[in-house]
Structure formats: structure tokens, C-alpha cells
């Protein structure tokens, strides 16, 4: 077995971002009284997801700052819902940063597989586009810190995945060789195509098998499939 260096994405690969984010938003939605200003949480949640996605796309292209992303996502959500409450939007933004990383739902078999891989001698690391202070809290609260030698946040590099410089930095920090390294993540562009362009082997984590890609793409729908796949790489 030659592939000994593993790099994992965090959100939507190990940490169930959608479920954890929804739970945090639901808590704030009721605690801050937003439920009295909108028709239904589902409408609020879908609007927020759309706004947040658009802002993260802009952030990845260096068109807005981290602060602008955090400040604008709830302001714009409220605007689209016809709610003129800028102070409440700011409170929700601050509350989300505090509450979201406290949520601890992981994808099935996360700890079991990380334990198995570590015992098998794999060096494991994280490469994430998420913000540094939040990602470290997620890892700590979920008791995942023990598994990873390095946590590389693109924020510290100055570029976001799929930029090759993020992968170059991660390889350098972890003293890993490209040809011996595997990147596992849910984002085809950022995690798979980005890592492969940098000389790593990409594995798509696609639990819903909802995306259609060429058959030569390495793909798993459950983390339990990873050890067997690594034997073949």
C-alpha cells in the first residue's frame, strides 16, 4: 500500500454541515423571535442557504472579505424576506458563529473509519475552506482533533480550494509526497479536480449519489468504503 498520506475536507465530508447548520439556525430562529416575523422556518432556511451559497462563491473568488460574508448573509436573507431588522440580523450573525460549531453530528462511521485508518498507519490531515477559528472548534467539540496531524485552513494560505497553492502548502506543511497522497471531499471542483490538478489522487464523497460524473472518478457514498478503496489506489 503506497498511499499513506490522507487529506480530508471537513464540512459535508466528516462534519454534517447541512444538519448542524439547520439545527443552529432553528435554535436562533426561535430564540431571537424571527419566527414571529416570517411565515415558516423552511422559507427562512431555504432563503438563507441561497444567500450563503452566493456569498461563499464570491468569497472563494476573493471578491468579498470574510467580514463581508459574515455581515451580509443574514442582512441579505432578511432583505429577501422583506424584514427590515438590521440589528436582529447582526445578532443572528453573531449567534450563528457561536452556536453552529457547537453542533456535533458527523456522517455515519466517521470516528470508526478514522480510528481504523490511523491504526493502519495513515497520516491524516484536514484541508478546509472554512474559517480557522470555527473549524478548530468543530474538530474539538466532535473529538476529532486526535486523528489529524495538520489542519490546513485556506484562510491561512490566502487562497481557497481548488487553487493549487492550497494543496502545495498542505503538502509542504505535512511533508507529504503528491504521488502518495489522497484527498477525500464532497466538492467535485474544489476537492477532487483541484487536488488531482495538484498531483494528488481525488476521492469524491457523495453520500446521496446525486451527481453524475465520469465512471473513472473514485467515489464513495459511505466513509466505510474508504479503507477498501485505498487498498486499490
Tens of pLDDT along 109-163? 999 999 999 999 999 999 999 999 999 999 999 999 999 999 999 999 999 999 9
**Rounded Cα–Cα distance for residues 89 and 213 (Å):** 39
Q: For 193, list phi and psi in degrees, rounded to 5.
A: -65, -40
Rounded distance, CA 75 to CA 72, Å? 5
Q: Where in the chain is the domain with CATH 3.40.50.1000?
A: 5-16+106-232
* Superfamily of 17-102 according to CATH: Putative phosphatase; domain 2 (1.10.150.240)
pLDDT at 208: 84
Residue 1 has pLDDT above 60, yes or no: no
Our measurement of the distance from residue 176's CA atom to the centroid of its chain's CA atoms, rounded to an integer in Å, reads 22
167: pLDDT strictly greater than 70: yes
The count of other CB atoms within 10 Å of the CB of residue 173 is 16
The chain-wide mean pLDDT, for the chain, equals 94
d(CA 217, CA 157): 27
- Phi, psi dihedral angles at 79 (to 5 degrees): -60, -45
pLDDT of residue 62: 86
Q: How many helices (H) and strands (E) would you count in the chain?
A: 10, 6
Residue 92: per-residue pLDDT: 95
Tracing cell 466532535 back to the chain, one arrives at 142
Cα 85 to Cα 24, 34, 78, 100: the distances in Å are 20, 10, 7, 22
CB-based contact 198:167 (threshold 8 Å): yes
CA 2 to chain centroid: 27
| Beta-strand runs (E) in the chain | 5-8, 123-128, 150-153, 181-185, 201-205, 218-220
- What is the CATH code of the structural domain delimited by 5-16+106-232? 3.40.50.1000
The number of CA neighbours under 13 Å toward the Cβ of 83 is 23
Whether the predicted pLDDT of 43 surpasses 70: yes
Dihedral angle sign, alpha carbons of residues 165, 170, 175, 181: negative
Could you give the residue range(s) of every CATH 1.10.150.240 domain in the chain? Answer: 17-102
pLDDT, one tens digit per residue, over 57-110 is 999 888 999 899 998 999 999 999 999 999 999 999 999 999 999 999 999 999
Amino acid at each position: 500500500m503506497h498511499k499513506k498520506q490522507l487529506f480530508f475536507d471537513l464540512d459535508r465530508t466528516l462534519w454534517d454541515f447541512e444538519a448542524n447548520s439547520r439545527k443552529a439556525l432553528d435554535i436562533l430562529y426561535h430564540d431571537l423571535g424571527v419566527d414571529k416575523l416570517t411565515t415558516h422556518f423552511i422559507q427562512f432556511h431555504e432563503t438563507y442557504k441561497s444567500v450563503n451559497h452566493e456569498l461563499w462563491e464570491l468569497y472563494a473568488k476573493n471578491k468579498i472579505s470574510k467580514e463581508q460574508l459574515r455581515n451580509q448573509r443574514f442582512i441579505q436573507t432578511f432583505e429577501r424576506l422583506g424584514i427590515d431588522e438590521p440589528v436582529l440580523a447582526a445578532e443572528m450573525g453573531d449567534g450563528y458563529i457561536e452556536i453552529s460549531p457547537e453542533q456535533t453530528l458527523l456522517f455515519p462511521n466517521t470516528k470508526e473509519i478514522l480510528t481504523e485508518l490511523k491504526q493502519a498507519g495513515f497520516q491524516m490531515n484536514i484541508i478546509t475552506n472554512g474559517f480557522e477559528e470555527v473549524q478548530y472548534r468543530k474538530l474539538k467539540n466532535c473529538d476529532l482533533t486526535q486523528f489529524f496531524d495538520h489542519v490546513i485552513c485556506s484562510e491561512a494560505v490566502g487562497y481557497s480550494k481548488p487553487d493549487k497553492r492550497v494543496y502545495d502548502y498542505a503538502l509542504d506543511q505535512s511533508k507529504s509526497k503528491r504521488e502518495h497522497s489522497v484527498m477525500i471531499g464532497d466538492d467535485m471542483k474544489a476537492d477532487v479536480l483541484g487536488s488531482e490538478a495538484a498531483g494528488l489522487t481525488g476521492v469524491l464523497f457523495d453520500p446521496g449519489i446525486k451527481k453524475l460524473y465520469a465512471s473513472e472518478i473514485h467515489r464513495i457514498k459511505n466513509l466505510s468504503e474508504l479503507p477498501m478503496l485505498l487498498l486499490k489506489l
